[in-house]
Amino acid sequence: MFDNATILITGGTGSFGNTFVPMVLAKYNPKKVIIYSRDEMKQWDMAKKFQGDNRVRFFIGDVRDKDRLYRALDGVDYVVHAAATKIVPTAEYNPFECVKTNINGAMNLIDACIDKGVKRVVALSTDKASSPINLYGATKLASDKLFVAGNSYAGGHDTRFAVVRYGNVMGSRGSVIPFFMSIKDQGTLPITDERMTRFMISLEEGVELVWHAFEDMEGGEIYVKKIPSMKVTDLARVVAPNAKQEIVGIRPGEKLHEQMISAEDAYYTYEYPEHFKILPVINDWANSPERIKDGKKVPEGFVYASDNNTEWMSDADLQAWIDANREKIGSI
């Protein structure tokens, strides 16, 4: 699908973009991969990794700037929307800025992609968009709704939009594993609540879910990958077996357990071997056979959360992942 195609990634210098680009270059032969982001130093650092590969291009710009998006999207076939204000406390203290990026930016991108004839767009979401309790989650829920409705908003144009949603990304910037590893020698690890659980997904699995969405989508679907859970206390014990765990209390806007599918979503959710798919409720698309395919409807009241998960990550699996990614984690 991506052979000889032009792909643009908003927020492409982040953890996702740094994994997506080498994977897509290795598996496919795209004509161009355009990194669209606003931090020139991150672009400078990332460009060093792909020096000599003229398929990788860099474009300074902000999703808040619709004119710049129009220019960047000239000739683009596929877009991955990874740009976001995502740190929960940052969003709480800078709410206007969070809304400008996560909601207004989504609106700008949808408009620009339709007008520029982009074929397909996949937007990255988060567990925090399901039954949100903080501003970041609320803006990502609004963003998800915008991308789902974008398929209707496109009118007679061929541009199609879908969303992928996943939980805690192991080893991503700002996530718990690099944080624990950076302070494990201090002898004490802060634990917000000993009951806390988190979903565990690797960046590579996140990329593969995006690829699947591009291949499978009709427009308006939210894809949720089946992934294991782990208790935060177990995670801390694997990272630093000899460190003391100090309970510091849950932070404002933080959930005890991650949730990716709510009971309200269950009415429109179908299960597949490796993922779930929340279908759009507008235009009766939730009943369209081309979107359902071979899916099995989940039972009424179904909730997909990190505490009621049927799959759990073992200590050995986490240790194997840390051993394989130690160098990458250390560079974050």
Name the phi and psi angles at 230, rounded to 5: -155, 145
End-to-end CA distance of the chain: 31
The mean per-residue pLDDT over the stretch 8-16 comes to 96
d(CA 138, CA 228): 25
Residue 142 predicted with pLDDT over 90: yes
Which has the higher per-residue pLDDT, 167 or 72?
72
Please write the tens of the pLDDT for every residue from 169-195. 888 877 889 899 989 899 999 999 999
Q: What is the pLDDT, as a whole number, of residue 332?
A: 53
The mean per-residue pLDDT over the stretch 16-28 comes to 96
CA distances from 122 to 10, 27, 100, 109, 181 (A): 11, 18, 20, 11, 32
Mean pLDDT of the chain: 95
Please write the tens of the pLDDT for every residue from 40-68. 999 999 999 999 999 999 999 999 999 99
* Percentage of the chain modeled with pLDDT above 90: 88
Local confidence band at 327 (pLDDT 50, 70, 90 cut-offs): confident
Catalytic residue selected from 128, 225, 231, 255: 128
Q: Which residues of 137-146 are buried (b: 16+ CB within 10 A; e: fewer)?
A: bbbbbbbbbb
Is 128 among the catalytic positions?
A: yes
Task: Tally Cβ neighbours within 10 Å of residue 116.
Answer: 18
Burial of residue 7 (number of CB atoms within 10 Å: 0-12, 13-18, 19+) = buried
Please write the tens of the pLDDT for every residue from 295-317. 999 999 999 999 999 999 999 99
Local confidence band at 168 (pLDDT 50, 70, 90 cut-offs): confident
